[in-house]
Amino acid sequence: MEKIIIKGLKLFAYHGVNPEEKVDGQNFVLDITALLNVDKAKQTDNINDTVSYARILKTARAVFCAEKYDLIETAANKVGMAIMNEYPTIDSVTVLLMKPEAPIKAEFEYVAVEETINREDLV
C-alpha cells in the first residue's frame, strides 16, 4: 500500500459559525493522504494506472470552495467523501483541515480536525 500525499494545500473559503467568516472568508490549509495500491503503475509507469495527485487536489479544491459550511468537520468530510467517490482505487483518505486564522482570542498556530474515511466503511 502506498500513499499519495498533498501537504499544505492553501485555500481561501467561507467556512465558520460566525457571520463574518461567511462574509469575509479566511485561509485554510489541508493535508490530504490517500492510501492505494500502485503496483500496476510502478510496472507500467503510466499515470492512468494510479490516481494523479493533481486530480485529487483539483477535487479537493472544487468541493472545499463550492459551499459555505459552519463546521470544519463538515468541510473535511465533504472533501474526503468526494475523493473516495471519485477515485474508487483509493482504499482510504485522511484529511487534516487546519484553520490558522480562527477567530479565537489566543495565540496558536492553527486549530484543526482530522478525518479518515476507509473504503470498507462506505458500504
CA torsion through residues 56, 57, 62, 68, sign: positive
Other beta carbons within 10 Å of 75 = 27
CA dist 4 and 19 (Å) reads: 35
Q: Which amino acid is at 45?
A: D
Active site residues: 99
Residue among 35, 86, 96, 47 at smallest CA distance from 63: 86
